[in-house]
Every structure is written in structure tokens, then in C-alpha cells.
Structure 1
Amino acid sequence: MNILDKLLILMFQQNAESIFFIEDLPPFIKYKDGKIQNLVDEKLDKEQIEELIKIFLTDKDRIELKKVGYWLGNYTTSNNLTFKGICFYQKNKLSIVFYPAIIESYSINELDLPEIFIETLNKNKGLIIISGPRKSGKTTIFNASIEYILNNRNITLATVEDFIEKEFNNSRGIVYQFIVGKDYSNIKEVLNIIRRVKPDVVAIQEIVNYDYLSLALDLSLSGLLVICTLNADGIISAFEKMAGMAGDQKDNVFRYLSMVLEILISGNLFNTTENTLKYVYDFYFNDVEFTKNIAKGDITEVYLKMIERREKGFRVQEHTLKALIKKGLIKEEEALLKASRPNELKKILAAPF
């Protein structure tokens, strides 16, 4: 067993969150409560870092690392534990971070999502955006959506990913998984192959910049169903992040979103008093009342309308959190700590209704 496997297994056994290998620092692990512990006193030098890299990167991967400056991927130890990893440069020195890739599989029906979400997965076109901060459950919903489509529809589905986090199998539907940076060097090449294999559904692992956002809009405007994730906390932040990516194309992006956006769900996981996790989310779905506001980029008005029309199925986190606090299922301090909009939550909690 190599030294990397031994250290990763140790980190996993100690239920730590992540392990770090940084040049000129001792290797250390970080626990879920934020505590950091050095594994040894010795600092790692450049040669030791490069020897570690040889364990999990191929010659081709190492060339790519030097070319683009980072590597993302999975590594499986000799006892079949899988870890997500990132290798990158900082201050012209190499750093490596690994954390457990615990991918829990849920069916879409186990996730307590609105019925209209599942109905939309059966549509032939449109855009579904699953948003949230890190460790908020968005990947779980994304994977469950893909599994649902593959198991229930006679379609072809293509994924666009930076690295393969979960391998999907053909069922009623056929799946292709394209890796940007390995199978194809850029988004333009991915778009070209998608146009040739002609999938019915495209799932984009994460919208990380304007190229990915443009891809999602282009494909949904062309009549495909597109599902993607976005790292943003709350529906307002999700729209604002897309606006920031778009730059001087902001007006066009919002106009296109008003035409294709079917669902935007953005939530987080909250610890309950019953020692369970509860997914609390904002939920927008396509409605003619909102399209003019989205086209204008008037996101505050969209949020206010969602509050007014929550009895129609729209949902904002604040009302769900207030109900859970009243039932004693979530502590107020936990809610305020993790809420997308803590100031708005304070107002809702103070209101008599």
C-alpha cells in the first residue's frame, strides 16, 4: 500500500473533512468542526509533493497540470475508497487537497421535491438550474434527476463534466459522459460533438463561467432539456451570479432566461433537533407572471412575487424556516447562520403572521 493510500485511509477513519499536502508545510487534516491537525512535524518539499502526484496522475495528466495550472478528479485507494481531489499551484508551489467522495444515491421521489420538478424532468425542452452553496445537496438532486430520466424515458442524455464524479449506466435511456479538458479541450468542441450525437437531454455538471452558461442557454434555446448546477446561495444570488458571468451580455442572458427557464431551485441542508438533515429551498418555476421581470433583470421583483404567490407553489426559504422553527425542528441560531438571506429571515420571524 502506497503512502497516499495510508494517509487517505487514516483521514477517512478519523471522519475528517479533508487532507492537505502543501509544499513547505507539514501534511495536515481538517475536521468537520474546523480543527486542523498536522499528521507529522516535517514540512513537505517539492520533491515529496511531486512523488505524491506520480501516484494519482498519469504522465498525460501531469503535462496537463503544468499547462493549465490545476487538476480535478477522483482517486480510489487499494481498499476501494474514492476521494475527490484537486491539485493546483499557489505562490508558484504545488498544493494537493483530497476529501471523501461519498456519493449517496437517492431516487428523485425520496428527495421531497415539488411534483412540478418531476413533471419538468419529463419535458422535451427547457432549462432546470439546481443551485446552492457547497455541500447543500445540489449534486444529489442533479444525480437523482439524471437517474430518473435514464430509468423512465427512451432518450439519449449527454453529461458535460470537468471530471467524472458518478458513472451513469444505460437503462431505458442511453448516456454519454463528456469530460471537458480530457475528451474535448473546450466548451466549443463539446458543443460541436453534442450537435453531432444529437442527445435529447444535456446535463451540465456545473455552470462555472460564461462559457458554460452560454452552452446551457444555447442548448435549451435549440429545443433540448438542459439540467445544470450553479454554486450560489439562494435564488437572488443565483441570478446575480449569472449576471456577473455574463458581463456586457447580461441583458441578452436575462432575455434568454425568460424564454427557457423552467425551474430554479436553490437550497441548503439544515441540522434539525432530531439529528437529521432538512433540505430547505427557494423554488421558482416558469410562470407568465414572472417572465417580463426576468427579461428586465428585475430579480428583486421576482423574489417578492414568489413570496406573494407561495400558495401557488412558489417557495422561499424564509417561510419554511419559520415553520420549522415554530415546530421546534430547527433552532433559530442554526437557521440564521445558514439562511441565504438572514436579514430577510429576521423580518419574517419578527412578523406576527
Structure 2
Amino acid sequence: MSSLGDLLARAVELGASDVHLTPKQRPVLRINGGLYVADFEPLADDEMRIIAQELVPPHVRGQFEECHECDFSHVEVGVGRFRCNVFYGKGVPALALRHVKAEIPTLESLNLPPGLRSCAAAPCGIVILSGTTSSGKSSTLAELIGLINRTEQRRIITIEDPIEYEFVDDRSTITQREVGLDTRSFATGLRQVLRQDPDVILVGEARDAETLRIAIMAAETGHLVLTTLHAGTASLALPRLLNEFPADERDRVRQAVAANLHAIVCQRLLPTAQGGLVPAVECLFNTPIVRKLIAGDAIEKLDAAIETGNEDGLQSFDQAIFQLVRQGIVTERVGLEHATHPEKLRMNLEGIFLDDSHHILT
């Protein structure tokens, strides 16, 4: 596997977030959101089979043989840790490897709003990190766990698939469990974790109703639960969550979420003017107004609550992008491309702001 090791070392040296290996093609690196062909020879079908056979760890080989795809973590000695997905294409294995940096990130290093510190300080409740794939959710979760670890004496148990960032106990005591290796599934691990005296529970991904149901119950019984959900905006995360449940359960679940939600944080990664990536962050904290809207099934009004809740730390994507453009971190073109409401953002950048009745404020 020396050739793979050389490739991964080169990828890390270039700052690549992902490495893609497909048969008969040169390896491809994702750097700052763009795809670049690496200066390595194409891998033949047999070479791909050998790499897959050597990389896939014993605890997921059965899954790989049955389902022809699996997730796991891989440590390349002297290079770093990678989150791996091996899958078949046209009968031959292909791989996607994401580099997981060894250093636990901080709010400052990730350019995240300081208001997110409240998510780590909360004694209980649910914190949901949402966004599309590759929007930085895992890094933000790691930062929150790292912040708790540095500042609080708490018992933290994580359930991940696979383990990405590795934590070393500081003020907190942390156990990391990997689905497939340490527990059968997220739901199974969650059912057992309540007997393990946790203060904080991290669930790598809320994939189904059972996992969500147990996570909500854990928050109701005084635990802080952090998890991720795929949704494009903070307000869309709630319908996404509720739709996982049968229709006759949704009202009860919605009331439970209204009572126990701490925050929904949604991210988008934007290319910077300097050539890197920066997150635009939408923040929905469970203020009394937000709680009332959720409990009253007025979720369609959450966007307005976010727009007008800046004093309480709430922030829309467009407000976040407005600041990034004003600070010269991203260009206006990039900002408009990633905005939820591009025309509204364009008007704001021109100094025109409208109230709810579409009257010009400035």
C-alpha cells in the first residue's frame, strides 16, 4: 500500500479534503471545493481490488461483501486519519477518502459565530447541525465536543459511523464508539448509552425515526444531545425531522422538540476571495418566540423569526453572507450564488432593506 500512502501524503501536503480513486483513472483530489487530477498513474481494476481488500477492516467486511459498500476510518501511518467509503462501480471497487485533521478545531479556526458557545454550555437539550454533504458539520460537532472537553467536567459518549476526530480527555471523560465495531447501530448504541451515565451524547447522524425518538427522550431526561441532519436551511431541518415519523406521531414529536430544542445550526461552505473556504452559518436558537411557533405548528414563520432575532443570536444565511461580503472575505458574485434569496441580498448590498410589509427601511 506504499503507492496509496504516497498519494495520501501528497494529498495532505496539498491541503486536499478528499481523495477519489476510480479504476483506470488518475486519482482526483478535492482542494478548496474544486477537483484536480493528481500526478499519479491510473489504477488498474486488480489494483483497486487489492487496495479495497487491504483497506476494509474486519468489522465491516461482511457488510462490504453483502452490500458492496461500507464506511470506515483508516489511519495512514505518518500521514493522518481518513474517513473512507468503498463502493462498487461497474463491478470494480472505487474509494472516496476524506482527510480528518488531527487537531480539534476551534470556533475561531473555523470562523464560526461566537454565539455557538452556548451550544456547548447548555446543560441539556438537542443541538442539531444541518447542511448538505461536505458543509463542515463534522468539524463543527468536533469543535463543540472539544469546547466542552476544555471547559466542563462532563461525561461524554459519542456514537459515530465511523469515528472521525479522536479526542483526548481534558476536563471531561470521553468514550467514542463506532457503529459496526463497538455497537450495532446508532439506535442500539443510543438505547444503551442512557445506562452509561452520560452528560453529553453525540450521535453522528440522526438517520431514522428510532434514532431521533431515543435522542429526544435523552434530551427530555436531562442530557445534552448533539447530532446532524441533512437539510438545506435551519427552518427546513424541522420538517425533515418530523417527516421521519408516522403522521400520527408528528404532533407529539413536534411538542417534544419545542420543549427540548436548544439550537439548529445550518452551514454552507463558500469559496473565499483568497482561495480557501469559509462557512456561512444560519443559527436558530429556541427563543420563546421560536418555541411558540414550533409548538403552534407555525414552522413556516421560522424564517421571519430568524431574520428578526439578531439580538438573541439568530442569523439567516443571507445575513451571514452579507457580513462575509462586506468584510471582503467572499466576493459579491460568490455571495449571491450561495444566498437563499439572491435578489434580497443584492438589494441589501446596495443599502436597501425592506420590512415585513416590503417598505424600504434605509
Q: Which residue in 1 is equivalent to 2:162?
A: 163
* Secondary structure class of the residue paired with 2:148: helix
Q: Which residue in 2 is equivalent to 1:311?
A: 311
| Structure 2 length-normalised TM | 0.83
Q: Which residue in 2 is equivalent to 1:153?
A: 152
Q: One-letter code of the match for 1:34?
A: L
1:158 CA drift (Å): 0.6
1:336 CA drift (Å): 1.7
Asked if the contact 1:319–1:348 (Cα under 8 Å) also holds between the matched residues in 2, the reply is no
Asked if the contact 1:26–1:39 (Cα under 8 Å) also holds between the matched residues in 2, the reply is no
CA distance in 1, matches of 2:100, 2:79: 11
CA distance in 2, matches of 1:146, 1:236: 24
Q: Which residue in 2 is equivalent to 1:121?
A: 120
Asked if the contact 1:16–1:29 (Cα under 8 Å) also holds between the matched residues in 2, the reply is no
Number of residues paired by the alignment?
Answer: 350
Structure 2: gaps (5+ residues): 354-361
1:220 CA drift (Å): 0.9
1:250-329 matches, cutoff 5 A: 250-273=250-273, 277-329=277-329
Distance 1:272 1:13, change over 3 A: closer
Asked if the contact 1:251–1:296 (Cα under 8 Å) also holds between the matched residues in 2, the reply is no
Asked if the contact 2:130–2:228 (Cα under 8 Å) also holds between the matched residues in 1, the reply is yes
Higher deviation after alignment, 312-321 or 29-38: 29-38
* Secondary structure class of the residue paired with 1:172: coil
CA distance in 2, matches of 1:281, 1:70: 32
* Secondary structure class of the residue paired with 2:153: coil
Distance 1:345 1:252, change over 3 A: farther
Q: Deviation digits for residues 194-253 of structure 1, max 9, x if unmatched?
A: 122121110112223334323321211222111122333321332343234335344343
Q: Which residue in 1 is equivalent to 2:35?
A: 34
Distance 1:342 1:91, change over 3 A: farther
CA distance in 1, matches of 2:90, 2:137: 32
Q: One-letter code of the match for 2:259?
A: M
Q: Deviation digits for residues 10-59 of structure 1, max 9, x if unmatched?
A: 44455555433345x435314433344684456x33x4333112322234
1:333-344 matches, cutoff 5 A: 333-342=333-342, 344=344
Asked if the contact 2:191–2:214 (Cα under 8 Å) also holds between the matched residues in 1, the reply is no
Structure 1: gaps (5+ residues): none
Q: Which residue in 2 is equivalent to 1:237?
A: 236
1:171 CA drift (Å): 2.4
CA distance in 2, matches of 1:149, 1:329: 29
1:348 CA drift (Å): 4.4
Distance 1:122 1:183, change over 3 A: same
CA distance in 1, matches of 2:328, 2:98: 33
Q: Which residue in 1 is equivalent to 2:76?
A: 77
Q: Which residue in 2 is equivalent to 1:57?
A: 56
Q: One-letter code of the match for 2:66?
A: K
1:291 CA drift (Å): 1.6
1:84 CA drift (Å): 2.2
| Structure 1 length-normalised TM | 0.85
Higher deviation after alignment, 223-232 or 323-332: 323-332
1:86 CA drift (Å): 0.5
Q: One-letter code of the match for 2:136?
A: G
Distance 1:21 1:236, change over 3 A: same
Distance 1:311 1:301, change over 3 A: same
CA root-mean-square deviation: 3.0
Q: One-letter code of the match for 1:284?
A: L
Higher deviation after alignment, 259-268 or 231-240: 231-240
